[in-house]
Chain A
Amino acid sequence: MSKPVLATTSLAGCFGCHMSILDIDERILTLIELVEFNKSPINDIKTFTKQCDIGLIEGGCCNSENVHVLRDFRKHCNILVSLGECAIMGGLPAMRNGILIKECFHEAYLNGPSTTANTGHIIPNDPELPCLLDKVYPCQEIVRIDYYLPGCPPRADLIWETLVSLISGKPAELPYEVIKFD
């Protein structure tokens, strides 16, 4: 039997959840024995080359590209797992949800303390750039999500136990300490 295929991505996240994947320490050696990686920043494969068994999604959707990637993951992954608070509830990027996009742009590119280099007072407008959404959306409000792993980041043990459980089909044993919202 061929190995289960795993794909991961980071949308509007900070890569902290991916760091937490690496935080499984020496178990990563077991992981590469257990699964085959497809599209993921871990191996730098940029596009799906086959149908995957498990997709891990870090981050919510803040722009049109995030939505595109998330839909692509839904299409190519049999099981989709939301990894971390940003994927589940928007997280820190969603703190802009009460602020007008115009105000966000002005703060980021025109008026903020780090904008002195922007002497032309330009708000990036290249058509290649993805459009910001009106607010940051949790992944489950864009596509169907099968499992949720809360945490900022989710504890390495939670990620490990979940992956092993999904691969082996045995129920995960999750102690109280591993499920946290922070």
Chain B
Amino acid sequence: MSNKVKFVIDGKECQSDEGKYLVEAAKDNGVYIPTLCNYEGLKPKGSCRICTVKINGRLATACTSPVHEGMKIENYTAELNEVRKEIIELLFVSGNHFCPACEKSGNCELQALGYRYEMMAPRFPFAFPIREVDASYPRIIKEQNRCILCKRCMRGIKDEDGKSYFAYKNRGKDSLVVADRKLMSAMSPDKAKEAMEICPVGSILVREKGWDEPIGTRKYDNAPIGSEIENK
């Protein structure tokens, strides 16, 4: 699989290994393609569509598309950025995302994408869905108001037998991510921390933790998400 291929993103000549997912291949070349449901080391799912690019003129998710020789990719265009902004706005209105009251504020990927794509206010009406805070687990709190159903916790947080701590409950607009009670009762503090970190928003919180970083020093306070890739 170490065949090198050449491809072009927004006119920039890029090179990477054949078959590597586009998000990763772009990253190797200092090009940021925004992601939300994608997480390094996990099998991509392509559900949030924030990484939508145009490959040879057709829309595709960059996290699930392998690179091939001669691909022509559009990434940073007014059209695609508008689509991304729209997705972010839809996510904001479909949950209850009260940034000022959130433990993850400043370290939240959804919020950081809102900053990056200059969302001043969502264009859609707020749904204000009725959801609960599930504080029934010993190590973590599952804040359902903030869950964006990205499945990162379900795919990434597993025990030594490969069983997921988290799973979907209900369908459609009633979908919730809940945790297995038996596994959760044995969850280690390290695992809980990992779960909080894998959650892109503030939906998985380690108990008795939060607001421990002052405003101004948090991850996305001073530089936009993706700038670490672009300025490498």
- CB of A173 to closest CB in B, whole Å: 14
Q: Cβ of A177 and Cβ of B100 under 8 Å apart?
A: no
Asked if A98 is at the interface of the complex by the 8 Å CB criterion, the answer is yes
Q: Which residues of chain A from 58 to 80 have a CB within 8 Å of any chain B CB?
A: none
A92-B100, A179-B115 are contacts. A98–B130 as well, Cβ < 8 Å?
yes
Q: Cβ of B115 and Cβ of A152 under 8 Å apart?
A: no
Residue of B nearest to A150 (CB): B120
Q: Which residues of chain B from 113 to 149 have a CB within 8 Å of any chain A CB?
A: 114-115, 118, 120-122, 125-126, 128-131
- Give chain A residues whose Cβ lies under 8 Å from the Cβ of B120: 88, 147-150, 179
- Give chain A residues whose Cβ lies under 8 Å from the Cβ of B96: 95, 97-98
A138-B126, A141-B125, A148-B121 are contacts. A177–B98 as well, Cβ < 8 Å?
no
A181-B105, A182-B105 are contacts. A176–B222 as well, Cβ < 8 Å?
yes
- Give chain B residues whose Cβ lies under 8 Å from the Cβ of A180: 115, 221
- CB of B178 to closest CB in A, whole Å: 18
- Give chain B residues whose Cβ lies under 8 Å from the Cβ of A141: 125-126
A176-B222, A177-B222, A181-B114 are contacts. A152–B100 as well, Cβ < 8 Å?
yes
Q: Which residues of chain A from 74 to 101 have a CB within 8 Å of any chain B CB?
A: 82, 85, 88-92, 94-95, 97-98
Q: Cβ of B102 and Cβ of A182 under 8 Å apart?
A: yes
Q: How far apart sit A177 and B218, CA to CA, in the bound complex (Å)?
A: 12
- Give chain A residues whose Cβ lies under 8 Å from the Cβ of B131: 98
- Give chain B residues whose Cβ lies under 8 Å from the Cβ of A97: 96, 128
Q: How far apart sit A31 and B121, CA to CA, in the bound complex (Å)?
A: 26
- Give chain B residues whose Cβ lies under 8 Å from the Cβ of A90: 126, 128
- Give chain B residues whose Cβ lies under 8 Å from the Cβ of A145: 121
Binary flags per residue of A154-182, CB closer than 8 Å to B gives 1, else 0: 00000000000000000000001101111
Q: In which size bucket is the chain A interface?
A: 20 to 34
Q: How far apart sit A105 and B215, CA to CA, in the bound complex (Å)?
A: 34
- Give chain A residues whose Cβ lies under 8 Å from the Cβ of B105: 181-182
- CB of A155 to closest CB in B, whole Å: 11
Instruction: Count chain B CB atoms within 10 A of each CB in A140, A152, A176 and give the residue with the most.
Output: A176
- Give chain A residues whose Cβ lies under 8 Å from the Cβ of B100: 85, 91-92, 152, 181-182
Asked if B99 is at the interface of the complex by the 8 Å CB criterion, the answer is yes
Residue of A nearest to B215 (CB): A182
Asked if B111 is at the interface of the complex by the 8 Å CB criterion, the answer is yes
- CB of B119 to closest CB in A, whole Å: 8
Q: Cβ of A92 and Cβ of B130 under 8 Å apart?
A: no
Q: Cβ of A92 and Cβ of B128 under 8 Å apart?
A: no
| From B106, B115, B121, B223, contact of A89 by CB (8 A) | B121
Asked if B101 is at the interface of the complex by the 8 Å CB criterion, the answer is yes
- CB of A141 to closest CB in B, whole Å: 6
Q: Cβ of A176 and Cβ of B121 under 8 Å apart?
A: no
| From B99, B125, B130, B224, contact of A181 by CB (8 A) | B99
A149-B120, A150-B120, A176-B115 are contacts. A182–B99 as well, Cβ < 8 Å?
yes
Q: Cβ of B130 and Cβ of A179 under 8 Å apart?
A: no
Residue of A nearest to B101 (CB): A92
Q: How far apart sit A150 and B89, CA to CA, in the bound complex (Å)?
A: 14
Q: How far apart sit A142 and B126, CA to CA, in the bound complex (Å)?
A: 12
- What are 5 A-B residue pairs whose CB atoms fall within 8 Å in the complex? A95-B101, A145-B121, A150-B121, A181-B111, A181-B115
Residues of B within 8 A of A (CB): 92, 96-102, 105-106, 111, 114-115, 118, 120-122, 125-126, 128-131, 215, 221-224
